[in-house]
Structure 1
């Protein structure tokens, strides 16, 4: 009898522990998760941030800006390929979020640029920031710093870019 009770309590503990590891943030009906940046390489002045944004609202919204004390300036960027050459460009007017849809900020696409870092991003640390949405308002978040070698797919080296 005691053993069954122990197993049931342990199972519940494991289920809730799994959800505690995922750090989700909400602003209105917008949910933001999987926020990350790579650890800085020596001498790297800039860093790129990534995340998943889900808009559960029946109306579209827009990520207007990101602010953070970790850098002199923070901008929303995308990568455009013209004539076989990929170039990073600042996004004017924010990143559109479709109604009942989502946007993934990832290497090679939309991303957050932390320009002129005040201190290097250290593996295992977090980078606090505030996301500002057109309709859903603001939400304080933290980007998890992953190893410099972290590569979920296509990669761009933003640290070497001059702004």
Structure 2
């Protein structure tokens, strides 16, 4: 009896978490193509929160990189610099766009080349513990690859 109750609770909890993640719609995901030897890239996408409560993106993972971080750009003494952040707020009924020069997912320590036509598997992690799998096609963009101070070499992971 206890086993069946525990199994039912686990299944219900899994369905609830999946439903919460489903209330965040992902559109236009893509990863930036980088030339061979480049160890870092970025992923961009839009997230629309159609739920009745605020959410936040608190992490991401990808098998193509040693580390995947949430990043933003800040103006420091007239210079735009990338900085790691802990969360990206997703207010109710709004769309938050991760784009070049703004919020983005940083892929650090690439384990493979990112060439146009390939795709990047990602797992997005939300503040409620839910996770969402996303495939981002690799695109060539007209914007030069993002340089991040201190991340010019492949990290030891």
| Residue 158 (structure 1) aligned to one of 127, 140, 146 | 146
Displacement of 1:136: 7.0
Q: Which residue of 2 aligns with 1:37?
A: 31
CA distance in 2, matches of 1:64, 1:160: 21
Structure 2 gap segments, 5+ residues each: 1-19, 152-157
Q: Which runs of 4+ in 1 moved over 6 A?
A: none
Note the aligned Cα RMSD (angstroms).
1.7
Number of paired residues? 132
Specify the alignment match of 1:116 in structure 2: 109
Determine the structure 1 residue equivalent to 2:47: 53
User: Which sections of structure 1, spanning at least 5 residues, go unmatched?
Assistant: 1-25
- Secondary structure, aligned partner of 2:72: strand
Whole-Å Cα distance in 2 between the matches of residues 83 and 61 of structure 1?
32
TM-score between both structures, scaled by the size of structure 2: 0.78
| Alignment partners' CA distance in 1, 2:96 and 2:128 | 16
| Aligned partner of 1:28 among 7, 22, 30 | 22
Aligned partner of residue 27 in structure 1, secondary structure: helix
